[in-house]
Structure 1
Amino acid sequence: MPRAVDHEQRRFEIVAGLWQIVAEQGIEGVSLRTVAARAGVSMGRVQHYFGTKDALVVAGIDLLVKQAVIGYEATAGRPPQDRLLHILLQQIPATDAGRIGVTVWYAYVAKAMTHTAVRRILAEATRVGVEECTRHIEEGEGLEEAEARARAIELLALSDGLTLRVLIGDITAEEAEASIRAYTSRRMTSG
């Protein structure tokens, strides 16, 4: 009897190898051969699942976004402030895995400048992030949509800036998280 193959698991293992390469060498270091070696599979298997380097690179950002969405969806039912904090804090690299994920994310941000499909995926993810933050601010702080949207953009920019400072080693993840928590707490109490 033939073995059941979990194709999604195989695709994930290959993309995990891609992420490791991107975290260490940037997207420029990606080839089907380097990803196959890192994932511990044959180059033929990588080609079978992704076809081309470009398709693999796009699949990498698509899966990264999907994993972030799954993490966010796990907060359903929690208070708006908690869900807002999840969005703002999820990118702060507090663990080794988190550092790899955020390093990969910012490699894709750089790639988006010259790659239409990557730019489209990142733009959509960012748009959804702003919408979700806006909704939680409206619910949690009672602001009108325009004001809540402006605040959402401000908070996401703060989170992005602190994340970059953590990545370069200027501040710790704990300092970044404390700063975001303090800032949102002040805003929640001052209106």
Structure 2
Amino acid sequence: MPKQVDHDERRRQIGDAVCRVIASRGLDAVSLRHVAAEAEVSMGRVQHYFATKDEMLMFAFEMVSARVAARFGAIAADDPAQHLRAILLELLPLSAAAREEAPVLTAFLAHAVVEPRLGEPLRKGSGEMVAWLAGMITAVRPGGDVSRDAMALLAFVDGLMLQVLIGQVSPEAAVDLVDHQLARVLTCG
């Protein structure tokens, strides 16, 4: 009886390899040869699942985005302020999973500046995140310009992520800064 092949699992295996290459060597190092070696598969297998480098990159980006979204969905908090805080902290490279994904997300953000196709899902995701954050802010502090506050919080955390990645800000200081900024937003509508 022929062996059953899980094509989705094979695509994920290759997507994980793309992420590891990006995290260790940067986005420019993503090539058929490097990804195949990292995934420990033949170049033919990579080509079977992805016709182009862009397809590999988009798939890897979607994988990482889905993982982040799943972690957001797993956050449970009865208090809207604590839920909002937990989401903002999850965007920082504090947990093992977030530390692995942050360099990959950062590389995608930088690449989106020059690649409109990648920029579109980032803009869409950012808009959805701002709307969600605005709703959380409203649950704690109705009134004021919650959309602007949400956008400012997201931009703040994005910048803080980079500073933590390069070692300019320690993880402990990042948590303190999030708490400080969040307190300002939630009390100064």
* TM-score (normalised: structure 1): 0.89
Write the distance in 1 (CA, Å) between the matches of 2:115 and 2:130: 22
- Counterpart in 1 of 2:117? 117
Calculate the TM-score normalised by the size of structure 2: 0.90
Q: Aligned equivalents of 2:58 and 2:113: distance in 1?
A: 14
- 1:17 is aligned to 2:17: yes
Contact 2:130 2:150 in 1 (8 A): yes
What is the match of residue 51 of structure 1? 51
Q: Deviations over 1:37-68 (max 9, x none)?
A: 10111111111111211110111111111111
Q: Residue 80 of structure 2 contacts residue 140 of structure 2 at CA under 8 Å; is this kept in 1?
A: yes
Contact conserved, 2:32 with 2:43, CA < 8 A, in 1?
A: yes
Q: Distance in 1 between matches of 2:77 and 2:88?
A: 18
Alignment RMSD = 1.9
Map 1:109-148; keep pairs closer than 5 Å. Answer: 109-143=109-143, 147-148=145-146
Aligned to 1:103: 103
Letter in 1 for 2:159: G
Query: Is contact 1:61-1:121 (8 Å) kept?
Result: no
Q: Provide the C-alpha distance between the structure 2 equivalents of 1:155 and 1:30, rounded to a whole number of angstroms.
A: 32
Counterpart CA distance in 2 for 1:186 and 1:38 is 45
Give 1:39-188 correspondences, 5 Å limit.
39-75=39-75, 78-143=78-143, 147-188=145-186
Gaps in structure 2 of 5+ consecutive residues: none
Cα deviation for residue 186 of structure 1 reads 4.5
Ranges in structure 1 where 5+ consecutive residues have no aligned partner: none
Name the CA distance, whole Å, in 2 between partners of 1:53 and 1:78. 43
The number of residues matched between the two structures is: 189
Deviates more, 1:178-187 or 1:98-107: 178-187
Distance 1:78 1:19 in 2: 34
